[in-house]
Amino acid sequence: MNEKVVVIETPGGPEQLKLVAVDVGAPGPGEIRIRHEACGLNYIDVYHRSGAYALPLPARLGMEGAGIVEAVGEGVTHLKAGDRAAYASQPPGAYATARVMPAKSVLKLPDSIDFETAAGMMLKGLTVQYLLRRTLPQGGLQAGDFVLFHAAAGGVGLIACQWARALGLQLIGTAGSDEKCELALAHGAAHAINYRREPNFAARVRDITGGRGVKVVYDSVGADTWEGSLDSLAPFGLLASFGAASGPVPAFSVGTLAAKGSVYVTRPTLFTHIATREATQAMGDELFSVVASGAVKIRIDQRYALADVAQAHRDLEARRLTGSAILRP
């Protein structure tokens, strides 16, 4: 069965993304075949395309999608043909009209959540779940606590703003324009800092928190924010570095952590958290619940045809996107 998929034959710029026809085939044991109604766009896709996160070549891209299960392989019991389903999953391959993939990270999609919303929320929403609910400082987080979240107007950031508000947290968001700061505030951020106008965001964080700093910083930006993120932490605070949109975090001396107040640093990944079907289901159930309740709304601000994936990547790298973006097969 010939389907359209996006592949790269060599790492590089958006021009390396090629739409080709392939025979998808039937699912094997522990696998499903899913026909996509929508596919998610995420910054990890740029890392894969550029070679920052190396993949065996030629490589398919895309980590997130939603659609209809067409067939299930031997041993798959939580899904059946005809089910609405969604996922964030390894290996890449979501940029496709249909694919065969491991079933363990694919979840049955509640009827209350449409395909575009699901494709725009699975990787980003599960990321926020493991950050705000599982990647925690000493003593955890309680209502009223301050947290700092970079790129607060992006797809992950806008979900985090809303989820933090639902948890009673005071989220301080950073973004690169006044418009993006307003977007973060409208979605639940307690404070927003335009880092282009206030590059010393750590000083502003200290002002907001009465000099103490925040319990935790969630940082997907990397090189540009690293020093400021450390300087924003309260004693015993946690810096969760979960991405590097501006480039890799520089090498640092472990003694720096002592000088900053006995602080902690971690580099978590979503795929460690969703390594088992049980963990994926538990995290997904919580994500579905906060979305279905209306506490978290998923903004789909950009839609691209699958054939226009190169332009989608250009827009993503230029930080022209807000909220979530999807590809339509």
Domain range summary for the chain, segments of one domain joined by +: 2-124+273-328, 136-267
Q: Confidence band (pLDDT; 50, 70, 90) for 323?
A: confident
CA distance 45 to 294: 28
Give me the CATH code for the 2-124+273-328 domain, please. Answer: 3.90.180.10
pLDDT in tens, 237-288: 999 999 888 888 989 999 999 999 999 999 999 999 999 999 999 999 999 9
The reported pTM is 0.91
The share of the chain scoring above pLDDT 70, in percent, equals 100
Q: Looking at domain 136-267, which of 3.40.5.50, 3.90.550.10, 3.10.180.10, 3.40.50.720 is its CATH number? A: 3.40.50.720
Of 200, 176, 174, 172, give the one whose Cα is nearest residue 188: 172
| pLDDT value of residue 244 | 83
The DSSP result for 89-133, as a single string, is: -SSP--SBSEEEEESTTEEEPPTTS-HHHHHTTHHHHHHHHHHHH
pLDDT in tens, 132-176: 999 999 999 999 999 999 999 988 999 999 999 999 999 999 999
| pLDDT value of residue 138 | 95
Tell me if 2-124+273-328 shares its fold with 136-267. no
With a CB cutoff of 8 Å and minimum separation 6, the contacts of 203 are: none
pLDDT over 90 at 90, yes or no = no
CA distance 37 to 45: 19
Mean pLDDT, residues 67-79 taken together: 97
CA distance 36 to 307: 14
CA distance 227 to 147: 16
Q: What is the mean pLDDT of the chain?
A: 95
CB burial string 124-152: b at 16+ within 10 A, e below:
bbbbbbbbbbebebeeebeeebbbbbbbb
| pLDDT value of residue 299 | 87
| pLDDT value of residue 1 | 67
Mean pLDDT, residues 292-300 taken together: 94
| pLDDT value of residue 322 | 77
The share of the chain scoring above pLDDT 90, in percent, equals 89
pLDDT in tens, 191-226: 999 999 998 999 999 999 999 999 999 999 989 999
CA distance 118 to 296: 13
Radius of gyration for the chain, computed over Cα atoms and rounded to the nearest angstrom? 20
Q: Which two tokens stand for residue 247?
A: 């480039």
pLDDT over 90 at 109, yes or no = yes
